[in-house]
Amino acid sequence: MRFNVAQLLKEGIGARRNYSLDETFEPLPEIGTTRVRGELTLTGIDKGIWVSGPVETNASITCARCLTLAENPVRFRLNEEYLATVEIDGDGSVSTQGSPDVLDVRAGTFTLDSQHTLDLTEAVRQYVIVNLPMKPLCHQNCAGLCSTCGADLNNHPCDCSTYTDSKWSPLLDLLTANGKG
């Protein structure tokens, strides 16, 4: 997920390139993403490159009900600014006239490296983390785990007797007396 954007930077503000992204790679830390697909537009801006476009990826999640690992598709729209760390002259060389060759970039921003390469890996990792569901499920009808014995109810029902708190027995007697229990 690396793009050399030196030519795009030389063309100036407003220059655009469209890229189709379809890559498979080693799982990313924390999220297990192994594949990224999307249609990206890279646009030259005054301080670097603006990257935008829809992205579809996968993530390994732990189901909130049954605690099994599952694959979860994640879709989001990437919109990020990548700031240049060195200036580029019209001929493609690094500028050193009258200004330091390394530009001042605030911490926490995405940057282009000194060879004008844009790497999307960290942005994709962060976007996937933000777009994961709060309580991910392995599938919509996940039965979860038995609260008594811990058996996975998706595989088979457990043989535990249902525990009833004795404080509720008068109300249960009323339901039974009315024929609803």
Q: Taking the domains of the chain in order of start, what are their residue ranges?
A: 2-131, 145-181
Does 141 have pLDDT greater than 90?
yes
Q: How many percent of the chain have pLDDT more than 70?
A: 85
Separation CA 60–CA 65 (nearest Å): 15
Q: Provide the 10 A C-beta neighbour count for residue 42.
A: 19
Residue 138 token pair: 């392995």
pLDDT, one tens digit per residue, over 47-66 is 999 999 999 999 999 999 99
Closest CA to 49 of 4, 94, 97: 4
Q: Give 108's pLDDT tier (boundaries 50, 70, 90).
A: confident
**pLDDT at residue 97, rounded to an integer:** 39
From the number of C-beta atoms within 10 Å of its C-beta (0-12, 13-18, 19+), residue 14 rates as exposed
* Out of 49-63, 86-100, 160-174, least confident range: 86-100
pLDDT at 95: 47
Higher pLDDT, 97 or 74: 74
Strands 35-45, 16-24: pairing kind: antiparallel
What is residue 30's DSSP assignment? T
Is residue 106 pLDDT above 70, yes or no?
A: no
93 pLDDT band, cuts 50/70/90, is very low
pTM above 0.85, yes or no: no
Mean pLDDT of 102-113: 73
